Amino acid sequence: MFDFEKLEVYKKVHALNVEIIKYLSSSRRIDPYTKDQLKRATFSMLFNLAEGVGRVTVPDKKHFYTIARGSVFECVTIINLMRGVGELDKQLHRKFYDGYDEISRMLLAIYRKTKKMI
């Protein structure tokens, strides 16, 4: 098992990504550009977290955790827009929003912990 797979935040990010991708794959009413952008942002969150864990130096780790958290913010912006234009119902929006909120806090905690390693 890789180190990143042991992290609770990775498990949560992965699970939320699975839900997002299933939703995007099953929904035909979402604008293709919006769909593509959300896929890219949510994948970026997952990939940068994993890459950050694999980095050796503290500045490298922090850099990738920062990018992962920025991708969370991008995802939230996209789902807020989707909710506003009727591409995402209130209940599903809340579920995704709450997941991203928890992940954002967890990534910030990892960043702060890593920052203290300097």
Answer whether residue 68 is part of any domain. Answer: yes
Please check whether residue 103 is in contact with residue 72, taking contact to mean a CB–CB distance below 8 angstroms.
yes
Number of domains present in the structure of the chain: 1
Which CATH number fits the domain that encloses residue 42?
A: 1.20.1440.60
Answer whether residue 96 is part of any domain. Answer: yes
Confidence tier at 118 by pLDDT (50, 70, 90): low
**Residue 78: domain span:** 32-115
pLDDT value for 115: 66
Answer whether residue 21 is part of any domain. Answer: no
Query: Measured on CA atoms in the order 105, 111, 114, 115, is the torsion positive or negative?
Result: negative
Answer whether residue 18 is part of any domain. Answer: no
Amino acid (one-letter) located at 100: Y
Q: Tokens for 63?
A: 């850099």
- pLDDT tens for each residue of 37-91: 999 999 999 999 999 999 999 999 999 999 999 999 999 999 999 999 999 999 9
